[in-house]
Structure 1
Amino acid sequence: MPDRELSLRERKKRETRQRISDIATDLIGKRGFDAVTVAEIARAAGVSAMTVFNYFPRKEDLFLDRIPEAAGLFASAVRDRAPGEPPLAALRRLALRLLEERHPLGGVGDTFADFWRIVADSPALRARAREGVEEVETALAGAFGEAGVAAPELWAALTMAAYRTVFITSVRRLLAGDAVTEVARGHRERLEAAFATLERMAVVDLDG
């Protein structure tokens, strides 16, 4: 929801959440996930540890703070699509827009390698990232079901598997030191190929 549509109280809550997350990301980026405590993050943000946990149920969520946003974006792409637009076409459009904007959920960006290196080095963050994918998949299945898609859980799983495969390939290339522009080009090509494959499968299963 745009900030202008939020109440003052909700805007302040959103700003507090973002400030806590930004401070946590900075501290963890400098010292590593395991070396930073929630108490330290709370002190740096000028709030209590209880306040931190009110916004982020787990320490891992302080660093992987965009999981709820991802679930909302994927579900909304299906729910709010244009009349007559197939769900997969709406999701393809979303994925390409996130890439074009270099959005943190888009897979490619100048600072993404450092972020994902921290995730790769932490078993707790890797486990939370996997859970996050499942949460997005669940939200997407709900949206598919509302759209009348047959076997919505299956199609949500297939869509997320395709997106995750493209995403992980790009992350590995960034970690290997490949140029961002080249990774972005390959990411777009793989996205187009993945959604083309899903759409060919959907001709029968979604429309039949």
Structure 2
Amino acid sequence: MEELSLRERKKHATRVLLMETALSLFEEKGFDNVSVAEIAEAAEVSKATVFNYFPTKVDLVLAGGKAHISEPANVVRSRPVGQTPHSALRAYFLRMLKHHEPMAGLSLHPLVLRVQRIVRQTPGLALKAMDHRRQASELLAQALIEEGSSELTARLVATQLMHTQHILAQTNLQRIHAGETPEEIYPDAVATAEHAFRLLEHGIGDFMRREAEPSDAPDTAFHDTGSRAEADCRVAYAPGEDDTRRAVEQVLRDAEDEIFEELADPDRL
């Protein structure tokens, strides 16, 4: 901040004011129940000023992550001679861990934690964050194609690299929200990252090779009716509200289906 000009510091202060004002309203009323006009009024600025800093309402929450979309592709393009894309992105993620970056899931910055909570509570924002990951993967694939990779291989490799980073970050984030500090998590986070990128480097072809025949013990979830030579499932299950909610949240976290892109369009919110 000390290196910024006075004009740049004022712009930064306005940006933070708008974001904090918006987050407070979203926390109080819910993201979908707050208009840009309300945010402008609460921040004592014009609606046009809000849009000058944040093109959409979604950007008031996700602008931080959006700024990182092109980073993986840029890291790969700028890697030195002799370094693989895998090695470059491994080093990139380990640097983010070292500096407790939000994109590595190790930040305790209050603003970052507020954003993460609102995203978890708002399906539309979760979908948009998912789309940001998709865009990052597509840009990374394009960087690989530019260097001579086939489109199929580039997309397969990019998807694996980006989704690995996402899972690692989410693992760290869960521990942050459970009350652990970045310092407590960091050694495990590094070890987990090394393991994950080692799997990518050497492949999973021999993973969990079965060394013995499976047990012949009957499945305890089934039983013989006695009158028929068939097994009937004896587990009756009907999903309740909590099960349904968890299932939906799981889809929102892990699905990479591009059909959600339209649903996440900020113009619909």
Per the normalisation by structure 2, the TM-score is: 0.61
Q: Which residue of 1 aligns with 2:137?
A: 137
Two-structure CA RMSD over aligned residues (Å): 3.0
Q: Find the partner of 2:100 among 86, 99, 102.
A: 102
The structure 1 segments of at least 4 consecutive aligned residues displaced by more than 6 Å after TM superposition are none
Q: Distance in 1 between matches of 2:17 and 2:92?
A: 27
Deviation at 1:191, TM superposition (A): 1.4
Q: Find the partner of 2:78 among 72, 77, 80.
A: 80
**Cα deviation 1:113-153 (Å, max 9, x = unaligned):** 44322211111221111111111111111122223334211
Q: Distance in 1 between matches of 2:28 and 2:39?
A: 13
**Cα deviation 1:55-93 (Å, max 9, x = unaligned):** 434312211112332112111101111122111111111
Q: Distance in 2 between matches of 1:13 and 1:92?
A: 36
SS in 2 for 1:77: helix
Judge conservation of contact 1:74–1:136 (CA < 8 Å) in 2.
yes
Q: Which residue of 2 aligns with 1:190?
A: 192
More displaced stretch, 149-158 vs 52-61: 52-61
- Once the two structures are superposed, the pairs formed by residues 172-191 of structure 1 within 5 Å of their partners are 172-191=174-193
Structure 2 unaligned blocks of 5 or more: 205-269
Query: Higher helix fraction: Structure 1 or Structure 2?
Result: 1
Q: Distance in 1 between matches of 2:15 and 2:138?
A: 24
Distance 1:54 1:175, change over 3 A: same
Per the normalisation by structure 1, the TM-score is: 0.77
Distance 1:101 1:122, change over 3 A: same
AA aligned to 1:88 is H
Distance 1:175 1:154, change over 3 A: same
More displaced stretch, 31-40 vs 160-169: 31-40
Deviation at 1:30, TM superposition (A): 6.5
Distance 1:126 1:68, change over 3 A: closer
Q: Distance in 2 between matches of 1:19 and 1:84?
A: 45
Q: Distance in 2 between matches of 1:164 and 1:93?
A: 15
Residue identity over aligned pairs, in percent, reads: 35
More displaced stretch, 35-44 vs 98-107: 35-44
Distance 1:110 1:141, change over 3 A: same
Judge conservation of contact 1:96–1:188 (CA < 8 Å) in 2.
yes
